Amino acid sequence: EAGVTQFPSHSVIEKGQTVTLRCDPISGHDNLYWYRRVMGKEIKFLLHFVKESKQDESGMPNNRFLAERTGGTYSTLKVQPAELEDSGVYFCASSQSGGHQPQHFGDGTRLSIL
Amino acid sequence: EDQVTQSPEALRLQEGESSSLNCSYTVSGLRGLFWYRQDPGKGPEFLFTLYSAGEEKEKERLKATLTKKESFLHITAPKPEDSATYLCAVQAANSWGKLQFGAGTQVVVTP
């Protein structure tokens, strides 16, 4: 079974540019989550999709971040325009439906804003 | 506010030297407590889920326990391949599934 796949693994862009991160969850997982870790901090929740619907977006930092999950399969996270404080590692996780299902993580996208 | 605190921040062990990691939490109703292992440059790898006080889970040299206020991850006779950062995360009963992570404990096991 393929795990959670994230692309790209690294991205370096200049302040003010746009970047789009992609996440392919484990096949059949309805729940998809985005998290990020900024330097020296713990991993923080951004948002949660159930299929194509946003269930919880309480962790999104501001309106420069836009997440989509068209068709309930892969998801994208767009940052526009990128700011210096957006640098960090962005993780995607997925889980099956039903309570207490563990979340399985991808290896993350390391985003550097110059 | 929900909070997760892990200690120690770092732990250096000799191969075979058993030890415990601590995860203290405050949450408004616990749905689950999760332990993950993370290697450099990789995403968190799921280890255990604990749901209620008194519960224990084991996997190879790792054993996780849970009380109403904290969880312990016991590493018995560790090997160098157990070197990693161990993360604790809680899921609140009133959440839709989001995990709140601690800062992690970095474990180094030397031969």
- Domains in chain A, CATH or no CATH each: 5-113 (2.60.40.10)
Q: Give pLDDT, residue B28.
A: 86
Is residue A77 within 8 Å of A67, Cβ to Cβ? Answer: yes
Low-confidence ranges of chain B (pLDDT < 70): none
Whether residues A56 and B46 touch (CB distance < 8 A) is answered with no
Percentage of the residues of chain A whose pLDDT score is greater than 90: 89
- Average pLDDT across chain A, whole number: 95
Q: CB under 8 Å, gap of 24 or more: what pairs does A68-76 form?
A: A69/A32, A72/A30, A73/A24, A73/A25, A74/A22, A74/A23, A74/A24, A74/A25, A75/A22, A75/A23, A75/A25, A75/A32, A75/A34, A75/A49, A76/A20, A76/A21, A76/A22, A76/A23
Alpha-carbon radius of gyration of chain A: 13
Q: How far is A83 from chain B (nearest CA, A)?
A: 23
Per CB-CB distance under 8 Å, the chain A contacts of B87 are 43
Which CATH number covers residue B50? 2.60.40.10
Q: Which residue range forms the structural domain that includes residue B19?
A: 3-110
Give residue-wise pLDDT tens across range A37-54: 998 899 999 999 999 999
Which of A102, A25, A35, A5 is CA-nearest to residue B35?
A102
Percentage of the residues of chain A whose pLDDT score is greater than 70: 98
- Identify from A5, A42, A46, A55 which residue to disrupt to test chain B contact, counting B C-beta atoms within 10 A and taking the largest count: A42
Whether residues B49 and A102 touch (CB distance < 8 A) is answered with yes
Q: Give pLDDT, residue B1.
A: 77
Q: Give pLDDT, residue B96.
A: 76
- Measured CA to CA, the distance from residue B28 to residue B17 in angstroms comes to 36
Per CB-CB distance under 8 Å, the chain A contacts of B45 are 105
Per CB-CB distance under 8 Å, the chain A contacts of B100 are 45
- Which amino acid does the sequence have at A43? I
Q: Give pLDDT, residue A22.
A: 98
Strands B62-66 and B56-59: antiparallel
B47 touches chain A (CB under 8 A): no
Pick from A31, A41, A105: CB nearest B43: A105
Q: How many domains does chain B have?
A: 1
